[in-house]
Structure 1
């Protein structure tokens, strides 16, 4: 168990050091500050109007459902096309073989 704690501690320490080093870049610092302000503003808005949070969450859930539905439809379409290919490929191969055999028999 002590090794697990050392691993977790090392990972956290590495993450903190990495974040601190990345903040040495002026542009990165500016981006972090801007992001922090946006998050802070959004949290204040949610505190002032809790129903806004539930509305936003419902909206995101609906968007996620729509995306899942689209992906599901796309996968169904691709699956159907793969089935069609599996069915037509042997037919095409047979047609090609028949055509080849016909031309070879005419040559001889």
Structure 2
């Protein structure tokens, strides 16, 4: 257990040192500050308007659920059509083969008469 704790501690320290070093670059620092402000303003909005955010999340979840249902129905339709094709293809091949034989016999007959 102690070794695992040391590993987690080492990972956290490494992450903090890496973050501190990357902030030495002015462009990275400015980008970080800009993104931090954006996240802060979004969090402030969520805290001030929790019901609106909950309704938005519910609406998005309903959209996702509807999309999943639509895709599921489409997949069921495609599976049914594939099964129909699997059943009808051999029948069609038999009909084509019989037609080919029939036409071939008549062509051979016509050639012999010439």
**TM-superposed deviation, 1:102:** 0.8
CA distance in 1, matches of 2:29, 2:99: 70
**TM-superposed deviation, 1:55:** 1.2
**Count of paired positions:** 106
Question: Runs of 5+ in structure 1 lacking a partner?
Answer: none
Residues 32-76 of structure 1 show CA distances to partners (whole Å, capped at 9, x for unaligned) of 666544433221111112212311221121111011011112111
Aligned to 1:62: 62
Question: Runs of 5+ in structure 2 lacking a partner?
Answer: 110-114
TM-score by structure 2 length? 0.61
TM-score by structure 1 length? 0.63
Aligned to 1:80: 80
C-alpha RMSD of matched pairs (Å): 3.9
